[in-house]
Amino acid sequence: MTTHVLSQLRNLEAESIHIFREVVAEMERPCLLFSGGKDSIVMLHIAAKAFAPARVPFPVMHVDTGLNFQTVLDCRDRWVERLGVQLVVASVQEAIDRGLVRPEPNGSRNRIQTPVLLEAIEKNGFDAAFGGGRRDEEKARAKERVFSFRDDFGQWDPKNQRPEIWNLYNGRVHQGESIRVFPLSNWTELDIWSYIEAENIDVPDLYLAREREVVARGGMLYEVNEFTPLRDGETAEVRSTRYRTVGDANLTACVESTASTLREVVEEIAAVRLTERGATRGDDRVSEAAMEDRKREGYF
Amino acid sequence: MTATTHATTFAAGPERSVDLLRFATAGSVDDGKSTLIGRLLYDSKTIFADQLESVEQVSRDRGNDYTDLALLTDGLRAEREQGITIDVAYRYFATPKRKFIIADTPGHIQYTRNMVTGASTADVALILVDARKGVLEQSRRHTFLATLLGVPHIVVCVNKMDLVDYSEDVFERIRAEFTEFAARLRVPDLTFIPISALVGDNVVNRSENMPWFDGSPLLSHLERLHVASDRNLIDVRFPVQYVIRPQSHDARDYRGYAGTVASGVMKPGDKVLALPSGLETTIASIETADGPVEEAFPPMSVTVRLADEIDISRGDMLCRPNNTPAALQDIDAQVCWMDETAPLVKGKKYAIKHTTRWARAMVKDINYRVDVNTLHRDEGATEIRLNEIGRIQLRVTQPLFVDPYRQNRQTGAFILVDETTNKTVAAGMVGGLPHSV
Ligand SMILES: Nc1nc2c(ncn2[C@@H]2O[C@H](COP(=O)(O)OP(=O)(O)OP(=O)(O)O)[C@@H](O)[C@H]2O)c(=O)[nH]1
Ligand SMILES: [Mg+2]
């Protein structure tokens, strides 16, 4: 009876493709923010589908905190190589060295990515930047438009967003202003994994469960490595873990898991009881409005 | 492989074969919209433990004796401080039957345009009515807007039944009052459900406090609602979004017209007519990155290749030779005005976006403004202010390929953009077509 119905994942994919094409058709110089994490990978995968058989018609930009998991960097480079896209790296370390920004006392480079991002957007003349943000991630993101207008300081004004009606997106900006575009706005973490499985998408190995040497700290599990070495009095143990998000390597925790295949990850996420940020990101739990404040400053 | 099998083979696991339903809340301030969404998420067990912990903590800090579930969607600092919703929040949940995209919209009149944002793509509008207060001006305005936006299904949730002793009389009185109002609107499908968002009656679970109600609880109603037939599968409309021309040697002659199917079903071999040129040709193939498909239907994003080389660019439209939209420069439309700084006035020029085409438009005339309370038409109106609705005549610099909004929510819709501020200032819906081509 119900013919001509798209499954909800294909529906989401079609919406994202529409958004990519709209931006490329209307904006002068878009770029895609690419961290090598699962959301930016799915975003780039869909971008490639939107313009096939032509190449992705914009560069990708990595705001590099210098605190990277090697497997994530490797995966980033595989994607860049495979799709033949141009990679722009905006280095936080370099910005620290020349005094533009200073790391926070706890070593977090999350917040100081913003000035580096804004500077790179300006320097490269980007008037649109695709971000992998999803509305299900966080309550301030849940409020943001697909086309998120930013003034010439890159700031988001949540109380004064442009109406966004039907799929008639308005990307008109004056010189110096820009838009952030979120093609995955309506995807959930489960959608992302179901899609990665269905399309067999190349993601960094750390999303899959492996035996890892970890240490429990503040209710979270951190892998013992050069970013998070053992502290005095701590003991490491080997547990089967995986990562749900990929942020700064010194602050991103892993979770206990036996999901070592994409199928098992999908099953795990379908049953999970904590949000990905709540489970793994010490830096996001700072305050009720931490994300809103960061976005106002121009964060992703 | 046909398009339909393409779509279904993709859905390997049961949780992925589900379809998508978009719904928006609406109604007056404090009627309980956000609380209802919180309750839906909570009772369907789609709240994450850390999210719940956070709202429980905030509720405790404020000295509430119950958990304020509205905090699950009121995510902005200002919203939490004022206890109202200011802008749309999008939330997601899935049951084994469906995935839902929820737009929780503000009831406050000042933020009506954000309600329009949330409702424009909705399959269903949930209109909340406070059982103690009955049908208010804002309930009428939102219902009117929902019907104007062509939302095909309306569910009136008579909320806070716990505060009126779960009285059947109260429910019936509101139902009667609402039905009378709705009779003057175009409401294809209207349902009433008595609920308590705070306590949870008839949201996910059937209420034991209202045995007199024999309808379904809200969630089962939403799970069963048939929305597939709401789409227009008859009139082929394919606005060209982007022309794909690879700059590589092996694909030098490739030329594909990328876009999202607005309506109708397209197949390779179909004769098509391109607007504005009026030239006819045949669909050679319909492609996706996963290979060719045998059919394309809304809302698929595809790339169409044509048998003949004709000049087509972004903003053009493909349709069938015997079924074309009207190509109009004079447009009769209803608009919902969204600019707080200046009203819509006669003689003013705006940028207009319709499907994938931008042009400029001048307001030639304001026919009337609608009083949303009485549905009275004020024909002496000289301007349309923030959150008001009116009927206007536009003159556009180049033809737009339009259908009446009632027949086509894609090709009947446009936005107006202020050329100085670049803000989106109006949602427009094309009316009946007095002088179609
Ligand atoms: N007793 C009772 N109170 C309710 C019920 N539903 C909501 N409330 C209360 O009504 C108040 C307003 O609820 P909200 O959910 O914020 O209202 P809203 O419709 O989202 O308001 P806006 O978004 O600002 O338009 C809150 O104090 C709720 O706890 C109900 O079913 N029964
Ligand atoms: Mg609310």
pLDDT digits (tens, 9 = 90+) for A186-217: 999 999 999 999 999 999 999 999 999 999 98
For range A170-190, the mean pLDDT = 95
pLDDT of residue B14: 37
A72 has pLDDT over 50: yes
Enumerate the domain spans of chain B: 11-230, 238-319, 326-430
Confirm or reject contact between A271 and chain B (CB < 8 A): no
Q: Which atom of ligand 1 is nearest to the CA of B163?
A: 1
- What pLDDT does residue B293 have? 97
Question: Which of B7, B242, B354 lies closest to A21 in CB terms?
Answer: B242
Structure tokens at B40: 């839906």
Q: What residue of A is the nearest CA neighbor of B355?
A: A168
Q: Residue B230 and residue A125: Cα distance in Å, rounded?
A: 43
Backbone angles phi and psi of B171, in degrees to 5 = -60, -45
DSSP category for residue A231: P
Separation CA B309–CA A144 (nearest Å): 41
- Contacts with A173 from chain B: Cβ below 8 Å: 422
CB interface of A with B, residues 29-68, below 8 Å: 48-55
Tell the CATH topology of B238-319.
Elongation Factor Tu (Ef-tu); domain 3 (2.40.30)
Q: Chain A: nearest CA to B246, how far in angstroms?
A: 4
Place B8 in a pLDDT band, splitting at 50, 70 and 90: very low
pLDDT of residue B17: 62
* pLDDT bracket for residue B44 (50, 70, 90): confident
| Position A284 pLDDT exceeds 60 | no
pLDDT (0 to 100) of residue B52: 85
- Classify each residue of A127-142 as buried b or exposed e, where b means 16 or more C-beta atoms within 10 Å of its C-beta: bbbbbbbbbbbbbbbb
CATH domain B11-230 topology: Rossmann fold (3.40.50)
Q: What is the mean pLDDT of residues A272-277?
A: 79
Determine the residue of chain A that is closest to B76 in CA distance.
A140
Select the highest-mean-pLDDT range: A93-102, A287-296, B209-218.
B209-218
The predicted pLDDT at position A281 comes to 62
Instruction: Tell me if B109 CB under 6 Å of ligand 1.
Output: no
What is the pLDDT confidence band of residue B338, given thresholds at 50, 70 and 90? very high
Task: Measure in Å the smallest separation between the Cα of B96 and chain A Cα atoms.
Answer: 11
CA B272 to centroid of ligand 2, rounded, Å:
47
How far are the Cα atoms of A217, B218, B265 from residue B122, in angstroms, in the given order? 45, 16, 22
Do the domains B238-319 and B326-430 sit in the same CATH topology, yes or no? yes
Of B54-68, B116-130, B218-232, B361-375, the poorest mean pLDDT is in B54-68
**pLDDT grade, residue B117 (50/70/90)?**
very high
Task: Name which of A296, A297, A281 is nearest A249 in CA terms.
Answer: A281
Instruction: For residues B286-308, give the mean pLDDT.
Output: 97
Q: What band does B3 get if pLDDT is binned at 50, 70 and 90?
A: very low
| Distance from residue B33's CA to the centre of ligand 1 (Å) | 6
Looking at residue A139, its pLDDT comes to 87
Closest atom of ligand 1 to B28 CA is 25
Domain regions of chain A by residue span? 8-188+289-297, 191-285
What does the mean pLDDT of chain A come to?
Answer: 91
Residue of A nearest to B264 (CA): A4
* Choice among A43-52, A228-237, B186-195, B400-409 with the minimum mean pLDDT: A228-237
User: Tell me: the pLDDT tens digits for B367-385?
Assistant: 999 987 788 899 999 999 9
Average pLDDT score over residue span B293-300: 96
Between CA B22 and CA B142 the distance in angstroms is: 17
* pLDDT beyond 60 at A283: no
Q: Are B102 and B92 in contact (CB under 8 A)?
A: yes
Q: Are B307 and B396 in contact (CB under 8 A)?
A: no
Mean pLDDT of B353-361: 98
The CATH number for B326-430, chosen from 1.10.4160.10, 3.40.50.1970, 2.30.30.830, 2.40.30.10, is 2.40.30.10
Considering chain B, what percentage of its residues have pLDDT values greater than 70?
95
Q: How far is the CA of B200 from the centre of ligand 1 (A)?
A: 12
Lowest mean pLDDT among A144-148, A242-246, B25-29, B279-283: A242-246
Q: Which residue has the higher pLDDT, B80 or B132?
A: B132
CA distance B255 to A256: 50
A152 part of contact set with chain B, CB < 8 Å: no
User: Would you say residue B9 has pLDDT above 70?
Assistant: no
In A, which residues are within 8 Å of B98 by CB distance? 8
Is domain A8-188+289-297 classified as CATH 3.40.50.620? yes
Instruction: Decide if pLDDT at A1 tops 50.
Output: no
Q: Read off the pLDDT of each residue in B105-119 and give the average, rounded to a whole number.
A: 92
Identity of the residue in A158, A167, A190 whose CB atom sits nearest the CB atom of B87 = A158
Q: Is the pLDDT of residue A297 over 90?
A: no
User: What ligand has the least distance to the C-alpha of B157?
Assistant: 1
pLDDT at B11 over 60: no
Does any ligand 1 atom lie closer than 6 A to the CB of residue B70?
yes
> How many angstroms separate the first and last alpha carbons of chain A?
43
> What is residue B121's predicted lDDT score, i.e. its pLDDT?
95
User: Which of A189-203, A273-287, B22-36 has the least mean pLDDT?
Assistant: A273-287
pLDDT at A209: 96
The yes-or-no verdict on residue B4 having pLDDT over 50 is no
- Give the residue-averaged pLDDT of B412-420: 97
pLDDT at A61: 97
- Average pLDDT of chain B, as a whole number: 91
pLDDT of B339 higher than 80: yes
Nearest residue of chain A to residue B86 (CA atoms): A159
Tokens of A81: 């190589």
How far is Cα B239 from Cα B263, in angstroms, rounded to an integer? 10
pLDDT at A271 over 90: no
Residues B284-290: what's their mean pLDDT?
Answer: 97
Q: Which of A136, A143, A150, A196 to mutate to test the interface with B (most CBs of B within 10 A)?
A: A143
Q: How far apart are CA B389 and CA B335, in angstroms?
A: 6
Structure confidence at residue A126 (pLDDT): 96
